[in-house]
Amino acid sequence: MSPTRWPHYFETQIPLSEEPLPVVARLAGSGLHASYVVYENGGTWSYAGGARAELTLDRHGARLRQEDVPDTLLPWADRPLELVARLLDTVTVPEWRAYGWAAFELSYAKTGDLEHIGDERLLHLVVPRAEVRVEAGHAYLRAVDQESLAALMETMVEPAEPPADPPKPLDVHGPGEFEYREAVKLAVEEIHRGDLSKVILSRVVDVDEDIDLIATYVTGRRSNTPARSFMLDLGGIEAIGFSPEIVVNVTADGEVISQPLAGTRALTPDLLLNASLRADLLGSAKEVYEHAISVKTGTDELEDVCVRGSVEVPEFMNIRERGSVQHLASRVSGQLAAGLGTWDAFTAVFPAVTASGVPKDAAYTSIRRHEPTARGLYSGAVLTIDHTGELDAALVLRSAYRKDGHTWLRAGAGIVENSTPEREFEETCEKLESVARYLVPVREGQES
C-alpha cells in the first residue's frame, strides 16, 4: 500500500502475520533510532523511535525542543506539571502522541518543593520521528519521511532471528538481606509510634553480568502476565519491565482509573500450592488491611479531582496473577471534574500508593531515611499521552535497569504494623523472580 501524506508524517498500514513481540524487539534492536520506547497496552504494542519534539522537566523548569521551532523553557513553579501541560499544548506535530517516563522523585517536587531533589531529570517525554502500532494482525506505521517509513517496513519483515541464548537466573536471596530486614524493623517501629500506617521499602540487587536487555524482555514477557509491559532507552536510562498495574489511566472523555495492587503471595508451577497460597492471602488480616488502606487512599485521591459522587470501586480485592506472584487487586474510577485536565489527575495519583505508602508524605520521609539510593525510574511511571488528553501510565515495577554500564533489579514490600522482616524480605525475592529468572547474558562479541 502506498503511503499517504500527513502533515509532518507519512503513513501506511501493513498486514502482520507474525506476533507483535519479536517485531517490536527487532525494531528496538535495529539501531534505526538512538532512543526508543516500546509500550504494550492490552492488545496494542507500540514502538516510538527518535524525537520530533522532546520535553524534559528538572529543578530548573520544563523545556520543550522541537524541529524548526526555538526551544521553550518555563522556569520552575509551584505546580510543575502545569508547565508540562502548557508546553504540550504548543507541540506543532498534528495528532501527536508522546512516550516517556516519570521518576519517583517527581513525587517530592510535584507541588513545587525542591528540598529533596538534586539535578536529576524528573520527567522525559518524546513525540517520535517514527511510530509503529501493532494490533489485531495489522501494523500502522508513520514516520517523518518516506525513507524512514521504508526502513521501518524492511525491519519489520526481516526473517526471524535465531532464538536467544537461554536465560541465566540470578539468585536474589542473598544481597542486602540484613540491611533490608533492619530497615523493615525500624519502619515497623515508626508505624507503632503513629508516624504512618504503611510504607513500601525497596532493595537493590546488582547484576554483575552483561545482560542483553532486549532478549531478556522477549524471554521474560513470554512467561509474565503483566498489566502493561515496556522497553526503553531514553534520557540516559535503559529499562525493561512487566508492570503489574497502572498508576492511572485518563480517557479522552475524562474517565480516570487507578488500579491498586497490594497483598502478595508467590505464584508457582504447582496449582494446588497456588490455591493454598491464594486462600492464605485472602485470609491474612495483614494483607487485607494493607490492601484496604491502599484502596481508601486511591479513592480519596480521585475524590480530589473528580465530579462529586462519581468515584466508585467497581472491582474490589480480586486476585491478579502477575508473573511470579499473585496479588489482591482493586480498581477505582471517577469522572474528571470540569476545569481540570489530564495532568491534574496524574498529579493527584502519582506516585502509586502501592509503591509509596499511607499517608504519602510520611512514607516519603521513611523511604528517604531507610533507602540508601534514590529510586529514579523504579516505582515511577512509563507513560503515553496524546493530543486528546488520553494518558496511560504504567507503574514501574518488575523491571531491570541499566545506566552508565551498571545493571540492577529492584523490588519492595508493603510494611504495616504487623509486618515481619523475614516475610517482607521473602516478598521482595518473590517479586524479583519475575525478572531475575529471565536474564539473558550478552553473547560473546555482541554489544549490550
Give CA–CA dist 85/389, Å, rounded. Answer: 10
Task: Establish if 356 belongs to a structural domain.
Answer: yes
- Of all residues in the chain, the percent with pLDDT exceeding 70 is 98
If one compares 36 and 267, the residue with the highest pLDDT of the two is 36
- Residue 244's alpha-carbon distances to 111, 321, 399, 401, 434, in angstroms, are 27, 9, 10, 17, 10
Give CA–CA dist 85/222, Å, rounded. Answer: 36
If one compares 18 and 202, the residue with the highest pLDDT of the two is 202
Q: Does 306 have pLDDT greater than 80?
A: yes
Q: Does 5 have pLDDT greater than 80?
A: no
Per-residue pLDDT at 158: 83
Q: Are 298 and 258 a contacting pair, CB within 8 Å?
A: yes
Task: Establish if 328 belongs to a structural domain.
Answer: yes
Q: Are 229 and 20 a contacting pair, CB within 8 Å?
A: no
Alpha helix locations (H) across 72-202? 80-88, 106-109, 146-156, 177-192
Task: Establish if 65 belongs to a structural domain.
Answer: no
Mean pLDDT calculated for residue range 352-356: 94
Mean pLDDT calculated for residue range 274-282: 90
- Of all residues in the chain, the percent with pLDDT exceeding 90 is 82
Q: Does 445 have pLDDT greater than 80?
A: no
Task: Establish if 120 belongs to a structural domain.
Answer: no
Give CA–CA dist 367/415, Å, rounded. Answer: 11
Give CA–CA dist 71/64, Å, rounded. Answer: 6
Nine-digit cell string for 60: 530548573
Instruction: Determine whether 65 is exposed, middle or buried from the number of CB atoms within 10 Å of its CB (0-12, 13-18, 19+).
Output: middle
307: domain CATH number?
3.60.120.10
Task: Establish if 292 belongs to a structural domain.
Answer: yes
Total domain count for the chain? 1
Contacting residues for 229 by C-beta, under 8 A, at least 6 apart: 39, 40, 217, 221, 241, 242, 243, 394
Report residue 128's pLDDT band, with 50, 70 and 90 as the boundaries. very high
Per-residue pLDDT at 7: 54
Q: Does 2 have pLDDT greater than 50?
A: no
- Residue 314's alpha-carbon distances to 90, 295, 302, 322, in angstroms, are 37, 12, 14, 20
Give CA–CA dist 221/24, Å, rounded. Answer: 12
How confident is the model over 63-98, as pLDDT tens digits? 999 988 899 999 999 999 999 999 999 999 989 999
Give CA–CA dist 189/368, Å, rounded. Answer: 16
Domain range for 341: 177-212+255-378+400-436
The lowest-confidence range among 88-102, 111-125, 158-172 is 158-172
Report residue 175's pLDDT band, with 50, 70 and 90 as the boundaries. confident
Mean pLDDT calculated for residue range 271-294: 89
How confident is the model over 176-218, as pLDDT tens digits? 999 999 999 999 999 999 999 999 999 999 999 999 999 999 9
Task: Establish if 320 belongs to a structural domain.
Answer: yes
Which of the residues are catalytic? 245
The lowest-confidence range among 17-31, 109-123, 269-283 is 269-283
Q: Tell the residue number behind the cell numbers 501524506, with chain if given.
A: 5
Question: What average pLDDT does the structure give for the chain?
Answer: 93
Task: Establish if 410 belongs to a structural domain.
Answer: yes
How confident is the model over 139-156, as pLDDT tens digits? 999 999 999 999 999 999
Per-residue pLDDT at 1: 36
Which residues are 335's β-sheet partners? 255
Task: Establish if 415 belongs to a structural domain.
Answer: yes
Q: Measure CA of the first residue to CA of the last residue in the chain; give whole Å.
A: 36
